[in-house]
Amino acid sequence: MKKTLILLLFASLSLGVSAAKEITSAQIKLIGDGETVNTLALQKAIDRLSKKGGGCLNIQPGRYVTGAIQLKSGVELHLEKGAYLLGSTNPDDYYQLQVGGEGDVVRKDNSKYGLILAQNAKGVKLTGEGTIDGRGQALALNIDSLVKCGVKKDDNYSVRLHRPSEVMRPKLLFFSECSDVQISDLNMRNSACWGLSFDQCSYMDLVNLKVENRAYWNNDGIDMTDCDHCNVINCDINAADDGICLKSYHLHGVSDKILIKNCRIASSASAVKFGTATWGAFRNIEIRDITVYDTFRSCIAIESVDGAKIENILVDGIKATNTGNAFFVKLGNRAGDGNGYIRNVTIRNVDVELAFGRPDLNYDIRGPEVGFFHNPFPSSITGYPGHNVENVTLENVRLSAPGRASKGMACVKVTEVPENEKSYPEFTMFGELPAWAFFIRHVDGLTLRNVHLQLRDQDFRKAIVRDDVSNYKEENLTIKQ
């Protein structure tokens, strides 16, 4: 009898612990009518779970409106299939994280607002087959109205572009200085600014996500700022700005040991990009087996213009169609200190079909037009005088270019191509270029191995143009024009 009582007591205690580990949307009386704001109830449930050592907040099917909520250590937010977490369209329902510190660069273009926030949290999870919808266009237009009528102040409001600055608009997610993060299987869409944004986070897995972020301007898909030991795997991204973007806003920040694999990306900017903010370091980055389509700018853009040290980069496996540019590698000196470098970059197993016109015409909000009529741009790998890009290998590359260049449009010599080392980096930054496949300048160590270049129509330009290039090797290069 005594033994039975002990077992019953143990079972009762175990049930109590288990129950405390999960809270459902029904238990906290969330209202899923698509109108009622549930911010307070959601935050109380998250705080309660965190204080008990962690647990899962399970959101059942329904349409739940919320303002900003903040995940805490040990808490999982799980959205069942049919559950929608809808961002409030009232700007007053959002607040900023207080991030930054000694050695940081002033972030003029980086919002600290977000629908789902986390700061200094460990072991946080966002999971399930549900949907997180920021309703970003309605939110951004409300912010715009409040600024225009003087209720809110935006010192960086763009009068020319008729929109509030990025710092005013909430992201879908903003996690800062978090570790052991798992985000999986969700549908994420419609931010007022960047989509999924992570600042100085480590040991993070983003897996099987569908990110559609094309409701407003500056709609990046995924941004990782000075993060390390992160995996982005099997994600489908459609973004009105850069698809996956690695940034650095911290002078001593490091992006290290990042894997991007088996992702499908469409973008009205670049598919995968390093930059533009590049103050710290980027090293040991692997980009494997990605599919790029309907992308206006580059499949891969690797930029160091603020002093970043970029090294040991592997791109292995790109299949790209209807894309404006294959590769853009740029070492510049926008910051003016001359300390940056790019070295030890391998790009291999690549099949790229370049478009003649704009590949992103189906976007309602598209990347800015090039400010001049132009012939199709080639890929470029460039440093600036006295500062070379070092040790680049292009291997097993097939590139199909549209041709149709006209001397009537423009015909330039190498000496006419500006350096523009202090300019905003973009594959259009030099204006017309005298090559149709690769323009290479200020490079020490370049190997082209099993590279096959083909024109679909005539082009008066050379396939490859080199200027101030040393230690150059060609192994099985074919050109059909």
Residues 127-145: b if buried by 16+ CB within 10 A, e if exposed: bbebbbbbbbbbbbebbbe
Q: Which residues contact 282 (CB under 8 A, 6 or more apart)?
A: 246, 248, 254, 255, 256, 274, 304, 308, 309, 310, 311, 313
Taking the alpha carbons at both ends of the chain, their separation in whole angstroms is 91
User: H-type helices in 336-480, by residue range?
Assistant: none
Cβ-contact 137, 212 below 8 angstroms: no
Sign of the CA dihedral with 267 first, then 225, 80, and 37 last:
negative
CA–CA separation, 53 vs 73, rounded Å? 8
Segments of the chain assigned to CATH 2.160.20.10: 22-253
470 C-beta neighbours (distance < 10 Å), count = 12
What pTM, to 2 d.p., does this model score? 0.93
> From first to last of its 481 residues, what are the pLDDT tens digits of the chain?
443 333 333 333 333 334 458 999 999 999 999 999 999 999 999 999 999 999 999 999 999 999 999 999 999 999 999 999 999 999 999 999 987 655 566 455 589 999 999 999 999 999 999 999 999 999 999 999 999 999 999 888 988 888 999 999 999 999 999 999 999 999 999 999 999 999 999 999 999 999 999 999 999 999 999 999 999 999 999 999 999 999 999 989 999 999 999 999 999 999 999 999 999 999 999 999 999 999 999 999 999 999 999 999 999 999 999 999 999 999 999 988 989 999 999 999 999 999 998 998 888 888 888 888 889 999 999 999 999 999 999 999 999 999 999 999 999 999 999 999 999 999 999 999 999 999 999 999 999 999 999 999 999 999 999 999 999 999 999 999 8
- Class of the domain covering 22-253: mainly beta
* 7: three-class secondary structure by DSSP: helix
Sign of the CA dihedral with 10 first, then 13, 19, and 20 last:
negative
Q: Are strands 462-480 and 22-24 parallel, antiparallel or unpaired?
A: unpaired
